[in-house]
Structure 1
Amino acid sequence: MRTDIFARLDREPEPPKIEIPRMSRTRLALFGGTSAFYLAIVVAVLASTWLVALDWKVMLFRPYQQWPELHAFLDYFVVLGQRGPTAVMVAAWLGWRSWRQHTLRPLLVLGAALLLLNCTVGAVKLGLGRLGPHYATQIGSAELFAGGDIFPSGHTANAVVTWGILAYLATTPRARRHLSALSAVVSLGVGLTTVYLGTHWLSDVLLGWAAGLLIMLGLPWCEPLIGRTEAWIFAVREQWRARRRLGVPSLPVAAGGPRTSPAGAPGRYARPAPAPAGEPVREPETVSVGGGRLAPSTPSPTGRTSGHTERPRPHGVRSERTPVTPSGSRRPPHSRTVAGG
């Protein structure tokens, strides 16, 4: 009796129908509150309010110098917010789930979330152009529109979205609660780690949390498009499989040789079979119709017969007819002997 994990997975029943999250009133309220918080952070930084002063106080405090023993561990921990490694890990897990559940929805949800993250966060980063703490030039300044790209924090927003996808796609309430707590701890830890390392202002982290949470709250609006995309991919796959089943493999043809078609199918380049040895070759017969001749019909690649019918010529008077020697006569020409030859 097999006791390994693969045997247990083979006996595992198919999961129940997955419930797709809807845009409920609670989710709408959270989305509106998070949007207001997002705008408040942007306005506070643009106006160089108390939030910018707090950024500078934390930066001048230099947490990485206050607790240097944490530096080695947090250098590795912050990788949980980098887009490349985290996307690969989560995509591998969701790919296995897609294979087990016979659906592409987990991977499509991850792709839609990452696309929204890149578009929204990237646009704000490039539009505001804020410099990081290590590149600041004037104390007390917001360092905006200076060619930077750190506001909001991409590490923080990516941690919220990437690990939050696991909770969003959970199939049971218990798993959803546990994964939500895990994603919250990871995203909070990654954001504070960037402040500790001095790579982001505190306001960058606050806006990164809000940006990632907005994407997670707005994902139900993308579910209809995700469903249509999945149905289209499956339809294309079925068409491809049907073509492979109905396709006739072509026979190998030597270079420069004639092409032949499979047996039973009319071929465009098919040649008639040669006559058996010893049997005379018959010339195609012509049929006279109304004074004209009908050339022998030849089959076309489409299965139709094509023939050329000569138009009948009017009968003239015997005196008007001119004897014509037929061309291509089979009789050999009469040999004339020359006298004295």
Structure 2
Amino acid sequence: VVDKKNRIKIGVIGAGHLGRHHIKHLCSHPSVNFVGFFDSNKEVAKKISEKFSVKSFENVEDLISSSDGLHIVTPTNLHHSIAIDCLKKNKDIFIEKPIASSIEEAEEIVAVSTKNKNIVQVGHIERFNPTINRLKTIIKSPHFIEIERLAPFQSRGTEVPVVLDLMVHDIDLILSMVDSNIIKIEASGATMMGTKVDVAHARIKFSNGVVANLKSSRIAQNYVRKIRTYEKNLYTITDLMIPQIETYNIGTSSSLSSVGILGTSASLTEKEVETADGIKKIYYDKIIPEKKDALLEEINNFIDCIYTRNVPIVDGTKGLRALEIALEVEEKIINND
């Protein structure tokens, strides 16, 4: 909590589906002075202004001038122009993912922010997902990671291919989980509802031998968000929709499965199975992670970095890297077609 007269001034550009969630958190945040928002849709702006009792600016220039930091929550094709405008006026920015539509645009955002010493945070929200962060404490050295992200079709987000809409989340996750260079990318997909790819599959191989399989689709009956990891004597299944993590430890009872460490859920079971190598024990556990609002945690990181001038967990450089891989996946899908 920061003294009211010393609070930074934050504004939001874009009050659509996601923008209004940013506004909801910011308008009551104890460490900021929320100055208001801008949305080009006047009808939407009026509704949001009344719902949260916040100021709706008539033009984006006035909002930028009135703020120390801006949340850019617009369609991807507008990210670059707004970001550069903010940075040239020495404003810190939070850009929803992906950072931009092209590598050239993202590189300019990073270059200008570096020159002006401004904070750039990119909204890869899964970095703040408590279930994923709990999983990262369990796995040690997986050699195979599989991530599945499926969603029913909706018009929102279809201005970009599914790789930039959904898969880019998991590309960023893989880059955070595997500390090694990518040596090969294979990809395939399909365009079904319009001119952009709606279903995508990517296989990414790293120099340390780790292989990641990513599957994304925005044509599904239900939402599916699952992560499976495989390593010696440990198999995990993470369901982000429940959320829960299931672990299968082979051979010894891991300290990770102790009641004291699991906290909110300890359902360790033990089973002996006969194998060609003799009798082995399988220890099964179901872990229910602590509940946290990932978007609020992400916003808190941005606010903290404005005050401390520390580098955000997902800065512009990391956002650029995720975009580079996503666009390579997209290019391979198009070339395969």
TM-score by length of 1: 0.21
TM-score by length of 2: 0.21
Larger strand proportion of the pair: 2
Which structure has the larger Rg?
1
